[in-house]
Amino acid sequence: MEHHNVSSIIIGKNNKMIKFRVRQMTINDVNTVLEIWAKNNLHEATPVIGMCVGIFVHPTIAFIGLYGVQPELHGHGIGIAMWKRMMDHIGSLNAGLYAVPEHLTMYRDRAGFQNPDDRMLIIYESDQDDHLNVDILVNSIPETKIHLITTEWYNKVIDYDAHVHGYIRAKLLPHVFNEEGSAAFVASNMTGEKIFGYGCIRTNNIGKAMIGPLYADNDAIAELLMHYLFGRLSTQFAKGLLYMTLDSNPGGERIAEKLALKQQEKIQRFFRGQPYDGADWDRVYCIHSPNFSLL
C-alpha cells in the first residue's frame, strides 16, 4: 500500500463506524471540495469528506488553506489526520496561513505558526439587495487602454505580476485567466508596451462575485479595471460581492468605502518562519486568494 493511501478507522456519531483515508487531491474532487467549503461557511453520499491544502507558492514558502471537514463529521480526528499529512508534504519549508479569530490560538500556540505578519486582511462584502456605488468608479483615464487578457498579453501580465509578488507565477496565471465564468483585464498605455495593472473577477462557491487578484499602480487604475470587470458580470452581484484587501494599501480600503461595501472582519496572517516581505504591497488592491496565495 502506498504511503498516501494509509487508512484509519474512527467511531462516528450514533456509534456508526466510519472508515476514511487521507490521499492527494485530484481534479475530480474539486466540485465536492467546493461543496464542503460552502457548508463550512468559508471558514473551513460522496467519498470526499474533507480537505486540507498546502501549496508551494514560492521557492521557500508554502501557503495553507481550504481546511475543512463535512460538518456532520467534525470532532473525529479527520482534520488532524489531514493536517499531519499536509505538513509532512510541506516538510521543513516556511509556511503561512490566515488565522480566523476562532482558530488563532490553535494555529499560533499548538501548530507552531508563531510569527504574525504586520499586515491584516480586511474582508468587505455586499449582500444580494445592497446597492453598490459602481457608477462613481473611474471609467476612463487619458492615455490608458483596457484590454481583455488573451494569450498575447500573458508574458507582459506575468512579468507585471512577478514585480508585484517578487517571484514568477507563470504556471498558475494562465489557468486563472481561463477559469470558466471569470473575466480578466489588463491596463496599458496606448501602444500596449507598458502595463499599469490587471484584475480578475469570478463567482465563488456560494455564488458571490469575487474580485482578485487586482494589482494596479494607483487607485485610478484599480477603479478603472473594476469598472470593466463589473461590466463583464452576466448577472451583476446576483448574490453580492466579496472584496478582500490588505491594510498595507490604504487605496484598497478607500475604494471599498467608495463602493459602500460593508467591512466584515480583519484576519491576521501567521508564519512558521519569517513573514514574507518581498512584495510590492502598494500595488495590491485585492488579494488573489486567502487559500493559496501570499497576496
* Residues 67 and 80 sit within 8 Å (Cβ to Cβ): no
Looking at the structure, tell me whether residues 20 and 151 fall in a common domain: no
**Range from 4-13, 76-85, 93-102, 274-283 that averages highest in pLDDT:** 274-283
| CATH code: domain of residue 153 | 3.40.630.90
Residue 61 sits in the same domain as residue 155: no
Residues 77 and 187 reside in one and the same domain: no
Which of 61-65, 179-183, 266-270 shows the lowest per-residue confidence on average (mean pLDDT)? Answer: 179-183
- One domain, residues 131 and 216: yes
Structural domain includes residue 160: yes
Confidence of residue 60 (pLDDT cuts 50, 70, 90): very high
Report yes or no on 62 lying in a domain.
yes
**Domain-embedded: residue 191:** yes
> Would you say 245 and 285 are in contact if contact means Cβ atoms under 8 Å apart?
yes
Angle, helix 219-231 to helix 250-259, in steps of 10 degrees: 40
Task: Give pLDDT, residue 27.
Answer: 74
Residues 88 and 125 in one domain: no
Residue 162 φ/ψ, nearest 5 degrees: -65, -35
Instruction: Please indicate, yes or no, if residue 156 is contained in any of the structural domains.
Output: yes
Distance CA 271, CA 276 (A): 8
Asked, for residue 161, whether it belongs to a domain, the answer is: yes
Query: Are residues 27 and 75 located together in one domain of the fold?
Result: yes
**Is 274 inside a domain boundary?**
no
Return the pLDDT at 89: 92
The domain boundary residue, chosen from 92, 107, 130:
92
pLDDT tens-digit readout, 164-207: 999 999 999 999 999 888 899 999 999 999 999 999 998 877 78
Q: Which of these three, 92, 111, 141, is where a domain ends?
A: 92
pLDDT value for 98: 92
Which string of b and e fits 4-38 if b means at least 16 CB within 10 Å? Answer: eeeeeeeeeeeeeeeebebbeeeeebeebbeebbe
pLDDT at 125: 94
Number of domains in the chain: 2
User: Do residues 149 and 25 share a domain?
Assistant: no
pLDDT of residue 21: 73
pLDDT digits (tens, 9 = 90+) for 69-108: 888 888 888 888 989 999 999 999 999 999 888 888 999 9
Which residue range(s) make up the domain with 8? 3-92
Please tell me the least confidently modeled range out of 32-41, 252-261, 270-279: 32-41
Question: pLDDT tens digit string along 106-151?
Answer: 999 999 999 999 999 999 999 888 888 999 999 999 999 999 999 9
Kindly report, residue by residue over 150-166, the tens digit of the pLDDT: 999 999 999 999 999 99
76 and 192 fall within a common domain: no
User: Which of 48-52, 255-259, 261-265 shows the lowest per-residue confidence on average (mean pLDDT)?
Assistant: 48-52
The predicted model gives 46-74 an average pLDDT of 84
Q: Indicate whether 162 and 256 sit together in one domain.
A: yes
Given this model, what pLDDT does residue 101 score?
84
SS3 for 125?
Answer: strand
3-state secondary structure of 117: strand
State whether 168 and 257 are in the same domain.
Answer: yes
Q: Among 65, 103, 117, 122, which Cα is nearest to 269's?
A: 117
User: According to the model, what pLDDT value does residue 229 have?
Assistant: 94
Q: Dump pLDDT digits (tens) for 25-52.
A: 777 777 776 676 566 554 433 457 888 8
> Quick one: 218 and 160 in the same domain?
yes
Tell me the pLDDT tens digit for each residue of 195-250: 999 999 988 777 888 999 999 999 999 999 999 999 887 566 678 899 999 999 99
Question: Quick one: pLDDT band at residue 293, thresholds 50, 70, 90?
Answer: confident
User: If 0-12 CB within 10 Å is exposed, 13-18 middle and 19+ buried, where does residue 133 land?
Assistant: exposed
The verdict on residue 115 lying in a domain is no
Residue 97 lies in a domain: no
Q: Are residues 76 and 153 in the same domain?
A: no
